[in-house]
Amino acid sequence: MAAASAEGVSPSRAVAIAVSLGLVAHQIFRRYETYNVAVHAALLFGPPTLVTAFALPSEWSLPYAALVLYSTYLATLAISVVLYRLSPLHPLARYPGPLGCRISKLYMAAICVPGYQHKYIKSLHERYGDVVRIGPNELSIRDASLINPLMGPSGVPKGPHFIGRMLSATGLPLVGIQDTDVHLRRRKNWQRGMGPAAIKEYEHFIARRARQLLSRLEEQKGELNIGTWINYLTYDFMSDMAFGGGSELLEAGHDEGNVWALLDEGMFISTFFGHVPWLGVYIGKIPAATGNLIILLNRCVECTLARVKKGSEKKDLFHYLNQEDIPDAQPPPTQQLVDDGVLAIIAGADTTSSAMTTLVYCLLTHPDVYERLQAEIDKFYPPGEDPMSTKHHRQMSYLNAVLNEVMRVYPPVPGGSQRQVPPNGPGVLAGNLYLPPGTMFWCHIYSTQHDPRNFTDPSAFWPERWLLAAGDPSLPPTDPAARGFDKETLVHNEAGFLPFSHGPMNCVGKTLAMQEMRMVVCALLQRFRIRAGERFDREKFDREYRDYFTAPRPEVPVLLEVRE
């Protein structure tokens, strides 16, 4: 039947039809963004199948025709895509960037595997300038003056990054929701769960776990990796705060259930797929193809469903996310709660652990900072004073300066939050920057916070910069730590400081994270003198500070001495 219907079709004409269909398919892919596997399969294999069925040259066998026509169609599609992305006709052709980045996002996916994409992107900015093309339709931006126009109240929606990280185009956590209205609506429950009244309730959870940490650390002998114990603390606290309990890593003294192994490997795998979301969706449909990432996501589901089934015993985060605080309110859909649970586990434990572990490293490599911070903590929390009390935090300018400087030099989320100009809407104009419809971009945190136009000596860990910028009288210019600067001569642009992102879609847990870090640091330094262990390696920490969306903690071997 096929041969009869195609009588008279020459091989050259059949090939020409395949080429034409390949060019048409490119235009469809270019104009209509979808992560539907069935649609992709239809566009990739449907046209050459039709050509083979209805335009089969009589002199070709069916297998030979299929080989030639499929190859011609797919090669035409690939060549058309590559030439267009490299051509001056591409909407982002004006922006410089490496050849591999302009051709395919697979290039950046490969770059991210060792964990140094933050340094790679920073090097691109140093080479090409403030706007760099890091993907066929993606930019990295380093200009601090563009952060508010692009991410502020009238900013651009989230990008598709989390589709790849979650291996699905549906069921995304709050930070991955691309529809701004839906994001802000979903955020309301989080805002109640992270509001002042709720955080006041969570202080008891932090205090209990911090005391448990101190007790367990006193029992340890010899050198230990402080980051491991901070991991246990943050995960146990997160479980208390979000799910009303369920984790006792501090009590066990080891990674019971491989919690942190799952988190670290899951973040590593998901970072790769975040660069190629379409591939993440494909892989997500293959059982066991992504190893510990699927196990991690399933663990998040189990925690959430167990908490919802148990109900509210305490005013934990899910008390608000499940709308148990609103009389007669209908609970949200189960899938929404599961999505929120994923975010609570990953964001609630990983980022604060990263910051606190890094803080210990910075204190050990900067003894003058350690002594000054120790003196401030001893002033407000002398022996006998409860370090879990938050009443002095606002007065502790140096503690806040140290925390800010840790997150500036070593941001817990080095890349930031991906955004995308809606493909079916108008372009975005911010200053002299025009972003065509469909453009994805990052206001790259690591590059911006290490830009000398924003911060004097940007790679140096120097907390005093925050005191000078604020005009803090505790650090006059004559203080040696001021390095000869005053408020007028210091370069300090806080518009370029965004460890918690920026705007109405920023990190909803910022206040809680700062509270947890202040309480734990005060408790730790009141109780212990921390010294570098024999295996402590300053250069190794810098080498192993990596970017897998969040920043894994390199080892910080220490010796602890209980202070008299």
Q: Between the CA of residue 525 and those of 176, 393, 407, 513, what are the distances in Å? A: 37, 15, 19, 18
Task: Give the end-to-end CA distance of the chain in Å, rounded to a whole number.
Answer: 94
For residue 44, the tally of other CB atoms under 10 A from its CB is: 15
What is the DSSP annotation of 176-239?
Answer: G---HHHHHHHHHHHHHHTSHHHHHHHHHHHHHHHHHHHHHHHH--S-EEHHHHHHHHHHHHHH
Per-residue pLDDT tens over the stretch 378-402: 999 998 899 999 999 999 999 999 9
Contact indicator for 445, 416 with CB cutoff of 8 Å:
yes
Angle, alpha carbons 551-556-559 (nearest 5°): 155
Looking at 363-510, which runs of residues are DSSP E strands? 418-420, 428-430, 433-435, 440-443
What single string gives the DSSP state of each residue in 21-56? HHHHHHHHHHH-----HHHHHHHHHHHHHHHHHHS-
Which of 46, 67, 138, 52 has its CA nearest to residue 97?
Answer: 138
Per DSSP, the three-state class of 560 is strand
**What is the rounded CA–CA span in Å between residue 457 and residue 403?**
18
Residue type, 120: Y
Amino acid letter at 290?
T
Compute the Cα dihedral for 526, 527, 533, 537 and give only its sign.
negative
Residue at token pair 């010796």? 559
For strand 138-141 and strand 433-435, is the pairing parallel, antiparallel, or unpaired? unpaired
* Dihedral sign computed on CA atoms, order 138, 140, 146, 148: positive
pTM here is: 0.93
pLDDT digits (tens, 9 = 90+) for 433-445: 999 999 999 999 9
Question: Cα–Cα distance between 29 and 78 in angstroms, integer?
Answer: 11
Q: Which residues of 323-335 are buried (b: 16+ CB within 10 A; e: fewer)?
A: bbbeeeeeebeee
CB atoms within 10 A of CB 87: 9
pLDDT score recorded for residue 403: 98
Decide if 132 contacts 96 (C-beta within 8 A). Answer: yes
Neighbours of 101 (CB within 10 A): 22
Backbone angles phi, psi at 508, to 5 degrees: -70, -20
Distance (Å, whole) CA 357 – CA 555: 9
Count, residues in the chain: 564
Span 176-455+493-562: which CATH code? 1.10.630.10
pLDDT at 8: 55
Dihedral sign for Cα 409, 411, 414, 417, please: negative
pLDDT < 70 regions, the chain: 1-8, 287-289
Pick out the residues of the known binding site.
507
Residue intervals of the chain classified under CATH 1.10.630.10 are 176-455+493-562
* Annotated binding-site members for heme: 507
**What whole-number distance in Å separates Cα of residue 564 and Cα of residue 554?**
30
